[in-house]
Structure 1
């Protein structure tokens, strides 16, 4: 799947990874070929992996503070869901955060939760084939897995 095809499919989310929007995207994707579904999963994983960088992951949660008033750090899951929200927001937003970290910051808010986007490839595959999704992607999208994005975590 090309990046253009991936971003065109992402545009069906209207900028938000709500449950209903992600279900609609999975249904749309399920009408495509299995290689397209796999290609979507690969692009999705790569988009998330590329956002897995220290400059984004160390931002505090936008709308929370600790009891003492200090910034509240993102959890690993919260950071993953924030990255999903950025991808769901579309190509222009995704591209813009790389040159301006402040554009990523709002997506750390508890108002944004892109978790539903994680399930789109497997849901589409299951709708298309009736079988369970059982494959890994080339890129790991789990938080802190991008060694280039987190240089001090390198072995």
Structure 2
């Protein structure tokens, strides 16, 4: 494996795309997705093979190339087509997005963009159908594990954009919404999945007992499941260090504080992106009492 190697990737509908290796650190590889998509396996001379796929933010007009770190062996379905030296602009590119193990679907974003451009209505129906099928399967088999999530470092970078200098909650999340909006619709879903899972992890009796005035108690019936959800939102909204500290030590749960607005971050970004309501069901529900292990003594 060398920097500059280009691999053809199989895509749905009998299409092919291509990815290029931009950097190698130990057994991790920084990949760029090229703009090539076609019915033939590309060659080094194919149109689009030397252009990195980009997404453009309507909010600020900034074009962002798609770079993702991956690791593991090259999937057998990928086809090596040659090596092209990095251009001056490509040398030293960076990314904080980790896509997990190297899989054959690593070039799927060019297919999504092509489908959105050529058949937006059909593509939306196709994606909605896949989501509904996955959700139905999860409900049928009582699955309580997350689906595909966003890279953890990227998730917390978005959360760090919450501006606590603002007084209005909508203004607090505004910068984070605009940043999340620059990603694809699927990445927004991955963010929502990550948020849901972190809220799910905090959904325990021990944390509920430490939320303040309206804490959970066997003797006192004033506990509110909704307020506990909003209290968990406040923990996640305060960032990685606070979240990890509270998760491992329930006694450090933030007292008498809530931040319900965090739940609207994904839907706000998705509406800006797609112009429609955000419909998504996560693998792990963030609703109170969903974490059965966390409430094993009361369920």
Q: TM-score, normalised by structure 2?
A: 0.45
Match of 1:97 among 240, 246, 262: 246
Match of 1:8 among 141, 157, 171: 157
- Tell me: higher relative CO, structure 1 or 2? Use CA pairs within 8 A at least 6 residues apart: 1
8 Å CA contact retained: 1:40, 1:121: yes
* Aligned residue in 1 for 2:255: 108
Give the CA RMSD over aligned residues: 2.4
Structure whose residues are more often strand by fraction: 2
1:54 aligns with 2:190: no
Instruction: Report the CA distance shift for 1:60/1:98 in structure 2 as closer, same or farther (over 3 A).
Output: closer
Structure whose residues are more often helix by fraction: 1
Choose 95-104 or 143-152, whichever is displaced more: 95-104
* Aligned residue in 1 for 2:172: 21
Aligned residues: 145
C-alpha offsets along residues 82-126 of structure 1, whole Å, 9 cap, x if unaligned? 10000000000000012322211xx231xx321000011111111
Q: Distance in 2 between matches of 1:45 and 1:15?
A: 22
8 Å CA contact retained: 2:163, 2:173: no
Match of 2:294 among 141, 149, 152: 149
Q: Distance in 1 between matches of 2:159 and 2:277?
A: 23
Instruction: Report the CA distance shift for 1:60/1:5 in structure 2 as closer, same or farther (over 3 A).
Output: closer
Match of 1:123 among 239, 247, 268: 268
SS in 1 for 2:294: coil
1:136 aligns with 2:281: yes
Choose 73-82 or 116-125, whichever is displaced more: 73-82
Instruction: Report the CA distance shift for 1:143/1:15 in structure 2 as closer, same or farther (over 3 A).
Output: farther
Tell me how far 1:22 sits from its aligned partner: 1.6
* Aligned residue in 2 for 1:81: 230
Structure 1 stretches of 4+ moved >6 Å: none
5+ long unaligned stretches in structure 2: 1-149
Q: Distance in 1 between matches of 2:223 and 2:210?
A: 7
5+ long unaligned stretches in structure 1: 66-70
Q: Distance in 2 between matches of 1:50 and 1:15?
A: 24
Q: TM-score, normalised by structure 1?
A: 0.83
Q: Distance in 2 between matches of 1:135 and 1:24?
A: 22
